[in-house]
Structure 1
Amino acid sequence: MPIYNKRFTLSALSAAVISAASAGTYAQETGTSALEEITVTGIRQSLTNAMDVKRDSAGVVDAISAEDIGKFPDTNLAESLQRITGVSIDRSNNEGNKVTVRGFGPNFNLVTLNGRQMPNSSALQSEGINRSFKFAEISAESVSGVEVFKTGKADIYSGGIGSTINIKTARPFDYDGFVASASVKGVMDTSVEKGDTVTPEIASMVSSTFFEDKLGVLVAVSHAVRDSRSESVSTQAWVPNYGAADTSAIDRSKNPEATYWAPWTFDVDVADHQRERQNAQLVVQFAPVDNVTATLDYTASRYDEDISMNRTSVWFDSSTGVTDSNGTVINPSVLNDELNFWAWNYQFVTENDSVGLNVEWDATESLSFGLDVHDSTSHSQPGGIPAETIANTRNPGKLVDITADFSSGSGLPGISFDDSALAGGAFAPENIVSDLFQERGLEIENQIKQYQLDGTWENLDDGALKTIKFGIASTDYKVDSYDSQSFAFVDLGDLASLGIDFEQLGDFGDQIGSNAGLFPLLADYEASDFIEAVKASGQYFEATPTFNKVEEETLAAFVTADFETEFNGYPVRLSTGLRFEDTEVVGTSIQNGILGLSYWHDEELREVNDDTPSADTLEGSYTRFLPNLDASVELSEELVARASYSRTLSRADISAMFPSTSLNVSRPGGPFNASQGNPGLLPITSDNFDLSVEYYYDEGSYASLGYFKKYVENFIGATFEDRVITDVNGNPITDPSVNPRPGCPDASGANPACLGNASDPVVTWNVATPGNLEDAEVYGWELAVQHMFGDTGFGAIFNATIVDGDVEYDVYDNENVFALTGMSDSANLIGFYEKDAFQARLAYNWRDDFLLATRQSQIGGQPVFNEAYGQWDLNASYDVTEDISVFVEGLNITEETIRRHGRFANQLVSAQQYGARYNIGVRAKF
């Protein structure tokens, strides 16, 4: 049987380059002028290039290529990645932010920039401190391509079980001489109520080479502003066995312990966002001699987001109600309570910087060496800027009766209240008093230093062995965090100076359901004004901060080998490798010792600390071998079969390794929740098997079917232990609210009698500690079809991923300690047209319901499920000239909404709407 050497899938771009090279040779031989090189761009070319990467790669790799200089398929990297088979995204403020690959969420995927691991920091305390990269911080205009490695390879950095995603940016030696591009667009967000209706996005890139192409310089900058509004109806948590409930309707065959869940709150939120992002990149390349190329690059991003949010809310303290058959309290009711009017100011600031040097040396015709070093940092809340400022006002005297309706598993729940005991009603300014303030700050600095020295030997003679690559690498991963929280109940007297106002619901929530059953008015005032009033009154309070640090050092060595041979006349390619890693972890926490709990308020027990900081240090270490083997067989010119095995790993979240013990929630009567980190956590490892067949039947057209299975060990989950926690003197912490002494509670903190002592009941804390608990299997199918309809200009893409495993969350199990977040089926349907000067693409992305988190607000052990979601996006462009085009982009054009629930559909966690977003602009290249 013949060996198939012909590749008719040669891309048009490659053909153009070959034609230009041939023309240049012919010109030299004949003395005539060379033909002009033609570079083919656009949707079809981008898809063809990505297809070629998929076909020619060892292992399972998918890719996205820029459609032209400065033109990535979508304005957001995550939103482009979701078009790839097996990739789903998480959205923040209706913008792609993090990715899930083959059911493994953001923390299980490693993101690199030009092959280098990128740091991450986030001041949002609910996220914890993790390693997942936020794509919203990077402009797409400077990206030339993205590779998604779904199988492991020994010569790339470890850290991704789901995938390793490599973002490639442009280099001056990628281009021939001078090139430049620029784009200007206006962003029109239909949700805007406060802010600018149209905001700017500007991006430009200039690249040139000098001194006979021995020196190249590239500069890329971008600036983007977006104003938007989000509207939400939510609950902070569904608490098991909270309050009192009639449980006679519970189906004991499913819920044998008759556990019931009651909502902690009922919240209606309006949030106005202003986001500003700057990106910059400077790349200098120098090739003093033919066999040496040095690249020095600096990449920076600045991300600022300000959010002003108001919430009208009810706390269901000691509620009563009736459950449905699952155990959900469907009509929680509280008598003699109050409405709460909250205000939030979020200020998120993140600064990212990366400096890198790469040197490539072709020592001989067959032997080359490379050195790559970089120092990258991500710094959130520099200078300790508070990330969250929170204020609350409320009705006095607890004279309002409140009942909610959670009977429906779709749409919005309802709330009703009787405020007749308050003359003028609950929303009258004279019936509103100050309640509390809170400030939260989480300053994080994440620094990654990496060094890699590698070599490649290429066999210039005949033989199956083609290349050997070898190298050593070092990764120094450091995280420093400064955690501060201030919380106090205050009495500001007359609140007229705050300007508290109320607005009608209007069309609030009109996309997520009828608002007829919600509060009639929404509060409107600024938390920052409240804080200023607190400071002016002398009641401002700053809590004792906690310092946490983790340093993780990994030394690695690797070797890979590539073979090309034949079996029964079929071309066969093999790639195998082995990576060895040795990792040491040191975690340190510095905090003031705990003196005890003070009975501060009838709803608060406050932690009281001494003035002497002390340090806790814990250590851990491990070694791992990570092999991989990839094989592909060309069964014909069109048909490729592929099989792969690899072992990959993901490391624990940083916040899971802080050794300090934190008192998370302590309220009179409970709950009493605490947590402690574990630097000794082992990495999660996965043995991955892939089988696929790919049919490349025409230029730019193919179909593929793949099966994958992952055997995962050491999944990290929460272990819970009921235990006593001691104070700085070694005595058990006690509860002073059970038998309060005279003068308690005391919100001034001046009464020493309100501090717990040995005569008070000892508190038993529910302490959560992360541990390596579970092994599991995850498996699934991937199907993709990409088809070009000849020369008509039309094309279509369909792909789908079905993923499953023994890692699902059992909603009736109250002892769930582990479940895989992010696992869900997904699908894409894309239609496009490209002819002459016109391009258009319509894309639908769908993701099935999935487990988003195993924690609801401040309550651990309670799940959050994201319901199935589908979104339509549209973009179109017209080339006015060869170098100038105009375009329009529409995101979420059907204004889809996001709904999340707890264990059951009627346990609403949040229902959110954001509206559609449209961009109109012009792009030019030179």
Structure 2
Amino acid sequence: MKKPKIDFRQNMISGAVALALVGIASSPSTVFAQEDSADDLEIISVSGIRGSLLSSANIKRESSGVVDAITAEDIGKFPDTNLAESLQRITGVSIDRSNNEGNQVSVRGFGPTFNMVTLNGRAMPTSSTLSTDVGINRAFNFQHIAAEVVSGVQVFKTGKADMTSGGIGATVNLSTAKPFQLGEQKITLGLKGIADTTNVTGNDITPEVSGLYSNVFADGKFGILLAYANSLRDSRKEAVINDGWLRDNGSVYTGIDSSNLSNPNNPGGFYWVPRNFAVEYGDHERERENFQVVGQFAPNEDITVTLDYTGSRFDEEIDRIQTGFWFDSDVNTVGTVDANGTVINPRHTNHRLNFGAIRQLVETENDSYGLNVDWTVSDTLTLAFDIHDSTSQTQPGGQISEFTTVISTPPDQRYVDIGLDFTDNDVPSVFAEVTRTFDENAPAPLPANYDPYALESIDGDVVVIRGHDIENNIKEWSFSGDWLNDSDSALSNIRFGVGNTDYQFDITRRFGFSVIYNVLDIPNLGLSFTPSTIGGNFSGGDMLFPVQFNADPGVVNQAVVDGNLITENPVSLDSVQEETFHAYIAMDFETEFNDIPININVGVRYEDTDVTASSNTTLPTNLLFVSDEEIRTVFQGSGGAVTDTLEGGYTEFLPNLDLSLELKEDLFARFSYSRTLTRSDVTAIAPSTAITNLRPGGPFNATQGDPNLLPYSSNNIDLSLEWYYEDGSYLSAGYFKKYVSNFIGITNESRTINGADGLPLRDPSFNPRPGCPDSNQTNPNPACLGNPGDPEVIFNVEVPKNLEDATVDGVELAIQHMFGESGFGTQINYTAVNGSVEYDVNSFDQTVALTGLSDSANLVGFYDKDGIQVRVAYNWRDDFLLNTNQFHSPNEPQFTEAYGQLDFSVSYDLTDAITLTFEGLNVTEETTRRHGRFKNQFLAAENFGSRFAFGVRATF
């Protein structure tokens, strides 16, 4: 049977725009099942939930290899309000969430950086900044895409020679529409009101609008498509957080009782102390805009020219307010460890409370320009040329992405004893009482009626600014062809192509730190303390802080700016350029063996990649002993800027073989072999050495990249059995195994780092001199700087290297069933994965672990009949490794605990043209929790609440 082919013209719609560059507004009323060639484009008319699932089942059935798909239910109607939320319904796909919105996908246990996202076949650039939850990597952020603008998504779980490389887990292709595909005039309009139950300071109902206009003219020779979507959302996220657990063995924290330590896997006697703790609320104001213009010209029936522009703007402002404290590395920190080494009751006498006012800003601009020419040379040959220039940039004006002002009990008034208790509760209980000990760190006598939660008891502490201006540009051209064999041989067609991708990633880093004690006008900053209700959804939440600090970060931070109180480090620049030339050939065969129809796809892709990475950084002139908890780098005078440039490269052959056997009518068996790759994160390639942690007595940490890193590569085996027993109904079972080479892990080097004078930096805190520490970074006390007699600082420098090979395997089970003509139906699927790269919490020198590895399941029930559509969906994901680093603790893991979420959608066709909708997300108000190496090493508990949307769609 002839397979549907990938339409190369469809690949030209809007180029790879970062973050949200899908055509906007609405989906086409027809869904295009795309596999390999324009001539074999299969058009499936769909409408409603049943039609969407029928179309998706047909795509799965007719594909070579293992492919799953989602198609729009109608113009402007995707299954979920968030694209990532829809993707998680696919077997083997899981998501990460940011502020209760899906933002990244994991496939078959491989985290977001291992999955390639394309837009109509084009690679998509991406950019992020410190104030997002994405981090600086290649992972695409689905939070920036309006679901209404996507007509279909295909998840290719096996590699293809003619498919853009980069996804070991999967390649996720987003499909949008073009005017020639939509045909006659179409106008769609959509309006929603979003009601976020968490909102406090913003609007309780925010608008979401979308619109699309498409038409063809001059007897089909010209076509135009215009689309736009805008979404506003106001919300609040409440959280209890700990930024990290510091590993020690008594060298820093000397007051810890480790006598209970009995874990035989911990012969080094390590224990873990929490770094800092806070209760916070964050008010989010987010706006997302998507827009698209597509023009098509067909001078004759054989040639189609497509010009397209796709753009998006994503702006989010977050005001976070924290109440908390830090555990500093001195003898006043005491506590008792449990058998594993977790300090379960840390206490610190004569300390301070800390109150944070944080403003985070994310501004992302995405623009893509593309040209495609599709030429039907003859009945048996089609050719296509495509070129696009796509850019994603975050903080395009160089804005600070995170501005933090900390207000605290003054350092000369350490009147508070602090502590935490880590029990079986969701969150730890807080101990914060006025001190009665008055050791050398706390002056006595205690002021009359002293209240640590009063304005007269607090003062400025420190200010920290940080952020990245990131620009990711992709310039790509490709020339491809499809030759159809019109003879009676088994060979049905040959596809071939060449192309070149110029991938450029530039990072401008900003960081500033200043001590601001005794310089802020506290009474006039609008600060207040009110009774706290944060944490009420978690067990133990009634034992947190009794009051909550309140502030307007904009007002507080402006006072810091007006006072010229910020000391900013020189800007550093990292640049990575990858230029990849590719060529491929792929062949399809149709034959029989013992009366069993067999479809075969075989191909190979050749890629040659050259890497050039450079870093421009200013070397510090010295180190300054700022406080008992902090050493800072000092940059004085001009000069000291150095540029390092390194080169690397690699060549890869990526073959694939797909066999599809129709064992009996509607029963298919598949076997696939493919070789795929994933390129390393760009931050691992940049050659600069960056100091990340300087504390008196240690640790002294730094990082350095390596442009010679090889990509992760994987040899993949897939086996599946699929039974399509009714239209739209099927059972499937699959097994996959991936043999992954060149896993990138972290190696540690102990060495000195030179300053601007070419000599190793020295530790001014080792033997403090009179008058030290000193927080004046502008005019520092020379005695508090590193002097020639001070010991050289020995840094632990983390360097990424290709270290290990590993295996990952799993099973996927799915059923999709339509209950006759009743209108009822269901989807149920389950994925179980495991691998040799799971994180071992009892290993303290593990260098390689796979993030995102977890089991997942979906249960969906729906009704679709007589213009009424109802869908209820429950998604569950088991606990998984989110990251191998904590914010303040390199080489310590972050685990996200198991999570399940219930969503629903209801729609009613008021007329043939107008549909009313009502949707609910996380209707049971589930919460999330993260922990470190052991479950009682609490990291975060977040409360998101529910979100509802009601609206109307019109199609003309």
Q: Fold match, TM over 0.5?
A: yes
Deviates further, 260-269 or 889-898: 260-269
Alpha-carbon distance in 1 for matches of 2:32, 2:554? 60
Report the equivalent of 2:475: 449
Sequence identity, in percent?
Answer: 51
Amino acid of the structure 1 residue aligned with 2:169: G
Is residue 836 of structure 2 the alignment partner of residue 809 of structure 1?
no
Amino acid of the structure 1 residue aligned with 2:287: E
Equivalent in 137, 147, 156 of residue 144 of structure 2: 137
Residues 3 and 63 of structure 2 are in contact (CA less than 8 Å); yes or no, is this contact kept in structure 1? Answer: no
Report the equivalent of 2:911: 881
Q: CA deviation at 1:14?
A: 10
Report the equivalent of 1:31: none
Q: CA deviation at 1:532?
A: 2.3
Is residue 562 of structure 2 the alignment partner of residue 532 of structure 1?
no
Q: What per-residue deviation string (whole Å, max 9, x for no partner) do you get for residues 307-364 of structure 1? A: 0001111111132111111111000000110100011000100001111111110111
State the secondary structure of the residue aligned to 1:862.
coil
Q: What 5-or-longer segments of structure 1 have no aligned partner?
A: 8-12, 18-36
Residues 368 and 455 of structure 1 are in contact (CA less than 8 Å); yes or no, is this contact kept in structure 2? Answer: yes
Is residue 109 of structure 2 the alignment partner of residue 107 of structure 1?
no
Report the equivalent of 1:910: 940
Equivalent in 170, 176, 182 of residue 169 of structure 1: 176
Equivalent in 532, 547, 563 of residue 505 of structure 1: 532
Change (3 A) 1:399 1:185: same
Report the equivalent of 2:277: 266
Alpha-carbon distance in 1 for matches of 2:564, 2:169? 52
Report the equivalent of 1:406: 422
Deviates further, 848-857 or 736-745: 736-745
Change (3 A) 1:555 1:915: same
Report the equivalent of 2:298: 287
Residues 452 and 472 of structure 1 are in contact (CA less than 8 Å); yes or no, is this contact kept in structure 2? Answer: yes
Report the equivalent of 1:763: 793
Equivalent in 332, 337, 340 of residue 326 of structure 1: 340
Residues 30 and 44 of structure 2 are in contact (CA less than 8 Å); yes or no, is this contact kept in structure 1? Answer: no
Alpha-carbon distance in 2 for matches of 1:732, 1:79? 51
Q: What per-residue deviation string (whole Å, max 9, x for no partner) do you get for residues 363-407 of structure 1? A: 111111011111100000011000000000111221211121012
Task: Report how many aligned residue pairs link the two structures.
Answer: 897
Is residue 71 of structure 2 the alignment partner of residue 65 of structure 1?
yes
Q: What per-residue deviation string (whole Å, max 9, x for no partner) do you get for residues 434-467 of structure 1? A: 1011111200000001111011110011110000
Q: CA deviation at 1:596?
A: 1.8
**Structure 1 runs, 4 residues or longer, greater than 6 Å off:** 4-7, 13-17
Q: What per-residue deviation string (whole Å, max 9, x for no partner) do you get for residues 859-883 of structure 1? A: 2100000000000000000000011
Alpha-carbon distance in 2 for matches of 1:709, 1:74? 30
Alpha-carbon distance in 2 for matches of 1:465, 1:597? 70
Alpha-carbon distance in 1 for matches of 2:552, 2:46? 53
Q: What per-residue deviation string (whole Å, max 9, x for no partner) do you get for residues 197-230 of structure 1? A: 0000001111111011111111110000001111
Report the equivalent of 1:350: 364
Alignment of 1:415-430 (within 5 A): 415-419=430-434, 421=446, 423-430=449-456
Report the equivalent of 1:248: 259
Alpha-carbon distance in 1 for matches of 2:163, 2:117? 11
Deviates further, 324-333 or 247-256: 247-256
Residues 134 and 141 of structure 2 are in contact (CA less than 8 Å); yes or no, is this contact kept in structure 1? Answer: no
Is residue 226 of structure 2 the alignment partner of residue 200 of structure 1?
no
Amino acid of the structure 2 residue aligned with 1:293: T
Alpha-carbon distance in 1 for matches of 2:461, 2:915? 56
Report the equivalent of 2:691: 663
Alpha-carbon distance in 2 for matches of 1:883, 1:590? 58
Change (3 A) 1:366 1:427: same
Deviates further, 228-237 or 735-744: 735-744
Amino acid of the structure 1 residue aligned with 2:197: T
Report the equivalent of 2:439: none
Residues 536 and 542 of structure 2 are in contact (CA less than 8 Å); yes or no, is this contact kept in structure 1? Answer: no
Report the equivalent of 1:643: 671
Alignment of 1:328-477 (within 5 A): 328-396=342-410, 397-408=413-424, 410-419=425-434, 421=446, 423-477=449-503
Deviates further, 37-46 or 348-357: 37-46
Alignment of 1:612-691 (within 5 A): 612=639, 613-691=641-719
Q: What per-residue deviation string (whole Å, max 9, x for no partner) do you get for residues 472-522 of structure 1? A: 01110001111010100013154111111112113x222223422101111
Q: What per-residue deviation string (whole Å, max 9, x for no partner) do you get for residues 109-128 of structure 1? A: 00000100000100127754
Considering only aligned residues, what root-mean-square deviation do their CA atoms show, in Å?
A: 1.8
Q: So what's the TM-score if we normalise by structure 1?
A: 0.95
Residues 458 and 466 of structure 1 are in contact (CA less than 8 Å); yes or no, is this contact kept in structure 2? Answer: yes
Amino acid of the structure 2 residue aligned with 1:691: L
Alpha-carbon distance in 1 for matches of 2:71, 2:520? 61
Alpha-carbon distance in 2 for matches of 1:234, 1:6? 52
Deviates further, 538-547 or 843-852: 538-547
Report the equivalent of 2:580: 554
Alpha-carbon distance in 2 for matches of 1:296, 1:783? 42
Residues 576 and 613 of structure 2 are in contact (CA less than 8 Å); yes or no, is this contact kept in structure 1? Answer: yes
Report the equivalent of 2:12: none
Is residue 89 of structure 2 the alignment partner of residue 74 of structure 1?
no
Residues 651 and 684 of structure 1 are in contact (CA less than 8 Å); yes or no, is this contact kept in structure 2? Answer: yes
Q: CA deviation at 1:5?
A: 10
Residues 520 and 559 of structure 2 are in contact (CA less than 8 Å); yes or no, is this contact kept in structure 1? Answer: no
State the secondary structure of the residue aligned to 1:46.
helix
Change (3 A) 1:475 1:494: same
Report the equivalent of 1:94: 100
Alpha-carbon distance in 2 for matches of 1:53, 1:15? 10
Deviates further, 891-900 or 289-298: 289-298
Q: CA deviation at 1:39?
A: 5.3
Q: What per-residue deviation string (whole Å, max 9, x for no partner) do you get for residues 534-558 of structure 1? A: 2333433222110110111000110
Report the equivalent of 1:774: 804
Q: What per-residue deviation string (whole Å, max 9, x for no partner) do you get for residues 10-61 of structure 1? A: xxx99999xxxxxxxxxxxxxxxxxxx9955110000000100001111000
Alpha-carbon distance in 1 for matches of 2:30, 2:544? 61
Alpha-carbon distance in 2 for matches of 1:327, 1:877? 54
Residues 46 and 55 of structure 2 are in contact (CA less than 8 Å); yes or no, is this contact kept in structure 1? Answer: no
Alpha-carbon distance in 2 for matches of 1:692, 1:389? 51
Q: CA deviation at 1:417?
A: 1.7
Residues 128 and 655 of structure 1 are in contact (CA less than 8 Å); yes or no, is this contact kept in structure 2? Answer: no
Residues 142 and 205 of structure 1 are in contact (CA less than 8 Å); yes or no, is this contact kept in structure 2? Answer: no
Report the equivalent of 2:160: 153
Change (3 A) 1:363 1:515: same
Alpha-carbon distance in 1 for matches of 2:83, 2:404? 32
Alpha-carbon distance in 1 for matches of 2:845, 2:2? 58
Q: What 5-or-longer segments of structure 2 have no aligned partner?
A: 5-28, 34-42, 436-445
Alignment of 1:541-620 (within 5 A): 541-610=567-636, 611-612=638-639, 613-620=641-648
Alpha-carbon distance in 2 for matches of 1:604, 1:257? 27
Q: What per-residue deviation string (whole Å, max 9, x for no partner) do you get for residues 672-706 of structure 1? A: 11111111110000000000000000011000000
Report the equivalent of 1:753: 783
Change (3 A) 1:516 1:306: same
Equivalent in 852, 855, 865 of residue 822 of structure 1: 852
Alignment of 1:710-859 (within 5 A): 710-749=738-777, 750=779, 751-859=781-889
State the secondary structure of the residue aligned to 1:760.
coil
State the secondary structure of the residue aligned to 1:810.
coil
Residues 177 and 213 of structure 1 are in contact (CA less than 8 Å); yes or no, is this contact kept in structure 2? Answer: no
Change (3 A) 1:480 1:40: closer
Alpha-carbon distance in 2 for matches of 1:128, 1:417? 34
Alpha-carbon distance in 2 for matches of 1:619, 1:270? 45
